[in-house]
Amino acid sequence: MDLCKKQGELCLDLCKDFERQAIPPDKSSFLPSWTIGRCTRPNRWLMQGFFVSIFFSLINQYFSTFETYFNTNFPMSTTINRKSIRFYSDPKRVIARFFFPGPETRVQSIIQKVITMPDQAAQLSLNQSLRDFSARHRNISKIFSRHFDRVRDIMAGRNGDLNGLSEFKKLLIGAYFTSEYSIESAAFFNPSMVEDPDQTGLQEGQKRVIISFRATGEGHISSIVFRGGILDKNNDLEVKPSGKLVDEAEAVRNYVYQKESFCKKLTEMHAESEIVKYVMDKLRFEFDYNELHNAVEATIREKNPDYEQKQILQTINWLADSHYEISFSLDTAISERVIFPIAAAESNGIEDARFVKFNESDGSIKYYATYTAYNGHTILPKLVETKDFYHFKIGPIHGKNAQNKGMALFPRKINGQYAMLSRLDGVNNYIMFSKDINLWHDAVKVQEPKFPWEFIQIGNCGSPIETEYGWLVVTHGVGTMRKYCLGATLLDLDDPTKVIGQLSEPMLTPNEEEREGYVPNVVYSCGSIIHGDELVVPYAMSDTASTFACVPLEELFSRLIPSGFKKGTKPEIGTTKARILVVEDEVINQKIISNILKSDNYEVEIAPDGIVALMQIAKEKFDLILSDIAMPNFDGYQLLDYMKQNNIQIPVVFISGYTSEEDEIKGLRMGAVEYIKKPIEKDLLLLRLGRILKK
């Protein structure tokens, strides 16, 4: 500020010199001493022009220096450091999928043609396929063999005994029932980031991370894919090159079901019927997948079900298919593993996996992810469990409130129970507690849309992050034109149903690049982490591509934490002088006034205009309102007039840069208790507020 002061003084001196030039010709002796001789009128005009140019040059330097100082000490909004890295879809990343070109008569015809082929022709055809595709898949012959087994089982002897065919004809049949699917040809979005289980071999300040994405291909079918990388001490990300060979996992269904919980889930899915009881009566208290499958097949034979009953039997199969385990080969890189829809309940996609590193009570670590399975008609919340990202257990989430998108697990138990964020009504944020990680019933609403940028809905953007101040939750809000923005909320560590603070303005809003895409005007995340002194937020750009940004934690907490809150403790009731609502549209002024009030132990809430102020007044208690007058949407006069008409008894102090007596008199006549002129002088503001609140 010394430089600002010196430049300001120089500007004032120059103003005085300039003023002395703007005098009649007979007074020209008042020219500065460093001018040479007496100036004629034209020369004096030139001199005045010279002074003007220097004057404004110094003024620009002065304000530039002041602006740098001010932005450093009073940032206009939460600082977002957008990184230049981009994650785009890559149509070259393909998996080999089972292909069944029904009806069965067509399939039977294809198999018969291969059977009747001369051996030499069949071998040549197989060799051609192997040449074309072996470089694109890790073990294409193994895939052909697996798909031959599958089609053989489906056809069940309609082409005779296929086991007696030569090995190359079996592989050729498998090749005809295989197709490539480009897993990320359409979009690559909704990322979440977690710490890699392997943190060996790193330099100081580095962290190895795994980023999951929702990849979308042909037919808009979504799957979960991964990328690996290393964050350095500056949170720049070095991404490991993507592997060329993408593997679909080997699936194993060996889950044992309990009849009672299985029937409850069917009830939650609205699959209640006598046909369900008929199937269940054939099973023991505990049963496995094969026993259930046989019971369903027997019911079909015995009951000849109608269309509605067939739909319910299909739902039973969907639910049974939802439990499975998958494994990837140990020689696959993280980018070569894809969790592609396997169960019928997720045939149209796996959406928005929210991964979290979970700390068990015994000190062990697991990774969980919640995701939404979609079959084209209904959704089913599901849970993924892994320790190493090679072996995964997958199953449905049960309970009357496990019914919507956006479930996110807390990273440890709270008071002996699992805790889960949810958006069970599609609009508000809820928290659920349970002793069983797969069963969720009771829910508590903790947050609802409060600000204009989130009026349509509010939800989480991944699992809460534990900090010494509380649970940090990155949120999303949907406003006008279905524009998605990211915000942040801080919840109490011991009782996360209590909100400590939340941002009144978005932390991240789509910029010009990010707003263009498959679904315009959307930024969205499924999970962030803390590294160093920053929050690292990976996010999608309009459901098309992805990137990430960093937010300084100190600055973020300064906006989330109320006055009187002590590090590592809960805010205590009655520790602040009073609760003041500051209604001000200029972010710089919000920061200045807020800092002044907090320094004198006032609790402060911010409203950017009169409309938001009215919503906060309706929901919360305030001792005083400090309001600007000139604001967009709903100005200070309109706010005060509305409060008078509705008998809202909260003292209002006007602050304004307009200094006319008429404005001051108008405000006081309307009922304002005080009128304070900008720029705000700290001691005067605190003195006047103190006197008002004492009354």
Q: Is 365 helix (H, G, I), strand (E, B) or coil?
A: strand
Which residue bears the tokens 């030139």? 46
- Bond prior to 464 in cis (omega within 30° of 0): no
- Write out 390-457 in H/E/C secondary structure: CEEEEEECECCCCCCCCCEECCCCECCEEEEEECCCCCCEEEEEECCCCECCCEEEEECCCCHHHCCE
Q: Output the CA torsion 231→237→238→239 (10° steps).
A: 110
* DSSP-assigned letters across all residues of 498-528: SEEEE-SS-SB---TTTT-SSSSS-EE-S--
DSSP 662: H
- Report pLDDT digits (tens) over 11-20: 444 344 434 4
Task: Report pLDDT for 129.
Answer: 97
Given this model, what pLDDT does residue 441 score? 87
Judge contact between 640 and 614, C-beta under 8 A.
no
- The DSSP bridge partners found for residue 338 are 225, 248
Amino acid of residue 533:
D
Per the listing, tokens 């899915």 go with: 269
Q: What is the pLDDT of residue 398?
A: 84
Six token digits for residue 614: 């009215």
Secondary structure (H, E, C), 271-297: CCCHHHHHHHCCCCCEEEHHHHHHHHH
Q: In what order do the strands lie in the sheet with 443-447?
A: 408-409, 418-422, 429-434, 443-447
How much is the pLDDT for 608?
A: 86
C-beta of residue 476 within 8 angstroms of C-beta of residue 408: no
Q: Give me the pLDDT at residue 320, please.
A: 82
Percent with pLDDT over 90 in the chain: 62
User: What whole-number distance in Å separates Cα of residue 626 and Cα of residue 653?
Assistant: 5
Question: pLDDT tens for residues 441-480?
Answer: 889 999 999 998 999 999 999 999 999 999 999 999 999 9
How far is 241 from 237, CA to CA, in rounded Å?
A: 12
Q: Which residues of the chain have pLDDT under 50?
A: 1-76, 570-574
Q: What is the DSSP string of 552-592?
A: EHHHHHHHHSPTT--TTSPPPTT-SS-EEEEE-S-HHHHHH
DSSP string, 7-34: HHHHHHHHHHHHHHHSS-GGGGGGS-TT
User: Locate tokens 């785009």: which residue?
Assistant: 88
Using DSSP's 3-state secondary structure scheme, residue 188 falls into strand
Q: Element (H or E) spanning 4, and its range?
A: helix 2-21
Cα 118 from Cα 125, distance rounded (Å) = 11
pLDDT at position 659, please?
66
pLDDT in tens, 353-367: 999 999 999 999 999
Cis peptide before 552 (omega within 30 of 0): no
Q: 373 near 403, Cβ under 8 Å? A: no
pTM, 2 dp = 0.75
Question: pLDDT at position 602, please?
Answer: 92
